[in-house]
Amino acid sequence: MNGAALKTFFLGLIDEEDIDSTLFYQLLNVAKNRREAERDYMYLRTKDTSQTSSPGDSYTTMKDLPSDFRKMLRVFVGDTEHYGVGFEDQILYEDGAQKYYLDMANDQFAIIGQPASTETITQFYVKTTDDITSTTSPLFPSRFHPILAYDVAGYYTMGIDADNIYARMSPEHKMAAELLLDAMIKWDDDLALASQNYSATPFLHEGENRKDSINMYD
């Protein structure tokens, strides 16, 4: 469903002929951004290989993060994984190796521990998505798109036009959204398990060693 179709669905929920389009799309994208921030969905995971690390770099040589960056998952310099440290800990690790830190205020990052030759930096990260317009659609499957229309109905009826009838309807919108969301989360869990060949090994957090994680179950 594109934005126009979501608006039509939404208008049916609140039993209105129309509302201000600017307001609708503002609320729609608030709902989209909120839902996407709740979970590191598989469909939001991507990679960037546009940056390189060179022997002459130092721990203060800053690299640009991708323009759609939200959260780092893993970083490799060549074939070597590097692990994140806090921005405020960068000096503690300046002479170390296989580390990186983020400078979120400036949308940058730096590698600590340089390779012997120029190497490609591969960033696996969770991305943000573009605003939905009348002609564009959310990136997740269309069967879950109504979640956003229900969310907007909840926002609109409770905060914008909260007469008694609408106020009583709003919990129904929220419940419908949550039921669809539960199905979407199950879909995402299935994708995540499939990506690990349905292994019971837990997903790694940043900085964990995959072998150590597996050994937990030995």
28 and 52, same structural domain? no
- The answer to whether 79 and 97 have CB atoms below 8 angstroms apart is no
Residue 7, in any domain of the structure: yes
Helices and strands (H and E) in the chain: how many: 5, 7
Residue 210, in any domain of the structure: no
Q: How many domains does the chain have?
A: 2
- As given in the structure block, the two tokens for residue 87 are 């921005």
pLDDT of residue 155: 84
Quote the CA–CA distance of 79 and 94 in Å, as a whole number: 21
Residues (pLDDT < 70) of the chain are 159-170, 197-218
3-state class percentages of the chain: helix first, strand second, coil last, to nearest 5: 45, 20, 35
149 and 123, same structural domain? no
Buried-exposed string 73-108: b where 16+ CB fall within 10 A, e elsewhere = bbbbbeeeebebbeeeebeebeeeeebbbbeeeeee
Residue 218, in any domain of the structure: no
Q: What pLDDT, in 10s, does the model give residues 47-71? A: 999 999 999 999 999 999 999 999 9
Domain interval for residue 49: 42-127
